[in-house]
Amino acid sequence: MPKVTPNPPDIDPVASSEKPDSNNPQNKANRTPSIADIKATPHKLCTFFTVNPDLDNETLLAYACESLASANVMATDLVDHLEGTSRNALLGIAQAIMLGELAVNRVLDRIEASE
């Protein structure tokens, strides 16, 4: 009856304790990914929420300003229904929204002035 394994079996020159185990998470974490690894992993863009890349900066800033203004109105209206620390926290959030809106408005003013 013929043997399935060669006599003597082929022995890897690297001891089994020194072999990197590709299934071992420690070896994967310590290993620097190669260019081949990066190229082999396809990067699929998530298009669930996208902003039209063809829009100009002024349009994007105007939309951001309108969104911040709407958020500020909603937060300010909700403040009337709260008391105590919750009210104070929401007033702080509304103030942060207002500051963001002011910053966007300043950029829009600069764009209009430069044109």
Per-residue pLDDT at 103 exceeds 80: yes
Confidence of residue 114 (pLDDT cuts 50, 70, 90): confident
Q: Per-domain residue ranges for the chain?
A: 57-114
Residue 24 confidence (pLDDT) above 90: no
- How many whole angstroms separate alpha carbon 81 and alpha carbon 62? 30
Please report the pLDDT score of residue 106 as a whole number: 95
Q: Tens digit of pLDDT for each residue in 42-76?
A: 777 777 888 888 999 999 999 999 999 999 999 99
C-beta separation of 41 from 77 below 8 A: no
pTM assigned to the model: 0.55
Q: What pLDDT does 6 receive?
A: 60
Helix 57-79 to helix 84-114 angle (10° resolution) is: 160
